[in-house]
Amino acid sequence: MIWRLLADAVALIHLGFVVFVVIGGFLAWRWRVVLYAHLPALAWALWIELTSGICPLTPLENRLRIAAGEEGYSGGFIEHYILPLLYPVGLTPQTQWVLAALLAVINVAVYVGLVRRMRASR
């Protein structure tokens, strides 16, 4: 039971990280200190997407699920949990590049707006 709860906790933390990567730039508009956590998180997420890497939280969750008597899963967190919600087909390297580009474009736009806002307030 404890292993399953730990695996579920890792999955929730992983989901929270993904959400933070997507919306962290918007949070930085309100709280500037968020920049110091969001920019490295964004860089990490882009690196994982562009290199078709696997976040270390994925194998950790799988090990915990196996310890709980469940089966782990292949692929990454995004492929296993998020993409089935968004796309009916599996994750491909091309899809990962599109997701990374979309993430980069959104965050560049957010940070350009933030810099303009900061300059205007001076």
Higher pLDDT, 46 or 70: 46
What band does 79 get if pLDDT is binned at 50, 70 and 90? low
The string of pLDDT tens digits covering residues 97-115 is 888 898 899 999 999 998 9
Per-residue pLDDT at 85: 58
The secondary structure of 25-55, three-state, reads HHHHHHCHHHHHHHHHHHHHHHHHHHCCCCC
Distance CA 32, CA 98 (A): 28
| Domain ranges (residues) in the chain | 2-121
The one-character DSSP state at 1 is: -
The string of pLDDT tens digits covering residues 18-42 is 899 999 999 998 999 999 999 999 9
pLDDT of residue 88 exceeding 80, the answer is: no
Against a cut of 0.85, is the pTM above it? no
